[in-house]
Structure 1
Amino acid sequence: MKLIAYNVRDDEIPFVKAWGEKNNVEVSYSIDTLNAETVKQAQGYDGISGLQTIPYDEALFSEMKEMGISMLALRNVGLDNVDLTAAKKAGIVVTNVPAYSPASIAEFAVTLALAVNRKVGYMYHQLHELGEFHFSPDFMGQLISNQTVGVVGTGRIGREAIRMFTGLGAKVIAYSQSHLDDSDLNFTYVDSLEELLDQADVIDLHIPGVPENEHLFDEKAFKHMKSSAILINTARGSIVDTQALICALEEGEIAGAGIDTLENESADLQNSRSTAQVTDSNVLKLAKMPNVIVTPHSAFHTDEAVMNMVNISFNNLKQQLTGGEVDNLAK
């Protein structure tokens, strides 16, 4: 058995090597993202592990079929960039890692909420943009324990976020298409997204980037929010209409945002070796706002998460290629 991983970052390499040695499997890696051209590096391999936000498209799966490679094992949760219909047509099995570390993403969401709430961006702006360093009335924040947090989506990550926010003393409400039947978490479901938007001081997104969620947060949604509310998105960029978000921030319709993922993320965003300068006008505009913290899709990034992403992805490949039952088939 020979396996190859694409778009491997420096922090993943020790875990990739360790898995190969532990399982006595030949494992190689490439720093390239995976597409119909770069897949040619996988000639002679049995399975591929991938991690990227750019598309896995029909051309890629057709090429994999021609090469006799029958499986793509993602090292992440999201499937919105995968043409699963094309994969099925080509006979390619696709798996993901549905839960590599929900707490890592939830913790980062809480971190962003606290930082925006406590005006950390204003402090950074004063020092790094104005060259000043002193107390300011602009730095007055709010206690999270005095606020209502609205969590959108109560899957694995959403549940961890609820646990953390309630631990900080916040009142938590949630909106989700499916409800938890039995839960020891202290929160209340609301009947509609609009109801959550009307009540919440902090809105925290933990839903997938599926077509029905595209631009769920648009101009209309922002007008529903309190002018004192903040938005936290560590889920998928497509959920939020970026132009509507920028307009809402500029017009004072909402008070701030913590954004870890944006629409139309480029391959360069996931390239840890990149030295390219930022040219995306939306990123630059958001970065200059003191009431916004924007980060490069890094909410997942803890040592526990990286280890689990690598190990589960390769375990999925091994299960499939040795005739075992595969745990994490993409649907």
Structure 2
Amino acid sequence: MKIIAYNVRDDEIPFIKAWGEHNEVEVDYSIDTLNSETLKQAQGYDGISCLQTIPYDEELFAEMKKMGITMLSLRNVGLDNVDLVAAKKYGIVVTNVPDYSPASIAEFAVTLALAVNRKVGYMYYQLHELGEFHFSADFMGKLISNQTVGVVGTGRIGKEAIRMFTGLGAKVIAYSKSHLTDSELNFTYVDNLEDVMDQADIIDLHIPGVPENEHLFDEAAFKRMKSSAILINTARGSIVDTTALIAALERGEIAGAGIDTLEDESADLQNSRSTAQVTDHNVLALSKMPNVIVTPHSAFHTDEAVMNMVNISFNNLMQKLIGSEVNNLAK
């Protein structure tokens, strides 16, 4: 049995080696992203593990079939960049890791909310851009405990975010198509997304990047939100119209944002070895705003999350290769 992992970061390597040694399975890895060209590196392997935000397209799955590789095991949750129809067409089993560490992402969302809310970006700007270092009236923030947080999506991550925000004393409302049952958490569901926009001081997104959620937060949404509101997105970039977000921030229609995911993320974004200079005009525009914190899709990144992503992805592969029932099949 031989497994190859693509787009491997340095921080994943110890966990990959440990899994291979523990399970007595030959595991190799590549720093390249996976596409129909780099797939050639997988010749002679039985299964592939991968983590990337760029597409897994029909051409890739067609080539996998030709090579006799029948499984792609993702090391992440999101399936929005996977052509599952094509995978099924070519007989490729796809799995993901639906629950590697919801608390890691939720904690980062809360971190962004606290940092933007307490004007950390303004302090950073004063020191690093102006070369000054002193108290300023611009630094006045608000207590989270005096605010209403609107959590959009109450799955595993959203549930953890609710737990953390209520722990800080915030009033929490939530909107989700599916509701938590028998929850001990102290929050209230609202009937629609507009209620969140109308009421929330902080809006925290935890929904998938499926087509129906594309640009849920657009020009009209930003005009509807409170002018004092903050938007936090650690979910998927496609949920937010980035051009409209920048315009709303420039016009003062909302007060700030914490953005960990952006539309049209490049392969280079997930390349931990990259030294390329930033050229994306949206990233540059957001980075220059003191009321915005923009980060490179890193909310998940804790030691616990990385270990679980590797182990669960490889366990999924091994189940398929030894003929056992496969967990975490993509749907």
Q: Secondary structure at the match of 2:94?
A: strand
CA distances 1:110-139 after superposition (whole Å, capped 9, x unpaired): 000000000000000000000000000000
CA distances 1:199-258 after superposition (whole Å, capped 9, x unpaired): 000000000000000001001111110000000000000000000000100000000000
Give distance in 2, aligned partners of 1:196 and 1:278.
Answer: 34
Q: CA deviation at 1:327?
A: 1.2
CA distances 1:21-55 after superposition (whole Å, capped 9, x unpaired): 00000000000000000000000000000000000
- What residue is the counterpart of 2:315 in the other structure? 315
Q: TM-score if structure 1 supplies the norm length? A: 1.00
Give distance in 2, aligned partners of 1:180 and 1:17.
Answer: 38
Structure 1: tracts of 5 or more residues without a match: none
Structure 1 residues 68-79: aligned runs within 5 Å:
68-79=68-79
Give distance in 2, aligned partners of 1:212 and 1:182.
Answer: 28
The amino acid of 2:192's aligned partner reads S
The amino acid of 1:156's aligned partner reads R
- What residue is the counterpart of 1:177 in the other structure? 177
Give distance in 1, aligned partners of 2:249 and 2:265.
Answer: 21
Q: Secondary structure at the match of 1:238?
A: helix
Counting matched residue pairs gives: 331
- What residue is the counterpart of 1:275 in the other structure? 275
Q: CA deviation at 1:84?
A: 0.3
Give distance in 1, aligned partners of 2:283 and 2:182.
Answer: 40
Q: Secondary structure at the match of 1:12?
A: helix
Give distance in 1, aligned partners of 2:180 and 2:130.
Answer: 48
Runs of 4+ displaced beyond 4 Å: none
Give distance in 2, aligned partners of 1:278 and 1:167.
Answer: 37
* 1:301 counterpart = 2:312: no
Root-mean-square deviation (CA, aligned residues, Å) is 0.3
* 1:44 counterpart = 2:41: no
- What residue is the counterpart of 1:188 in the other structure? 188
- What residue is the counterpart of 1:65 in the other structure? 65
Give distance in 2, aligned partners of 1:322 and 1:214.
Answer: 39
The amino acid of 2:57's aligned partner reads D
- What residue is the counterpart of 1:149 in the other structure? 149
Give distance in 1, aligned partners of 2:204 and 2:181.
Answer: 21
The amino acid of 1:111's aligned partner reads T
Give distance in 1, aligned partners of 2:119 and 2:180.
Answer: 34
Give distance in 1, aligned partners of 2:311 and 2:4.
Answer: 13
- What residue is the counterpart of 2:98 in the other structure? 98
The amino acid of 1:317's aligned partner reads L
Q: TM-score if structure 2 supplies the norm length? A: 1.00
CA distances 1:157-197 after superposition (whole Å, capped 9, x unpaired): 00000000000000000000111121000000000100111
Structure 2: tracts of 5 or more residues without a match: none
* 1:55 counterpart = 2:60: no
Give distance in 2, aligned partners of 1:102 and 1:140.
Answer: 31
The amino acid of 1:294's aligned partner reads V
CA distances 1:242-299 after superposition (whole Å, capped 9, x unpaired): 0000010000000000000000000000000000000000000000000000000000
- What residue is the counterpart of 2:227 in the other structure? 227
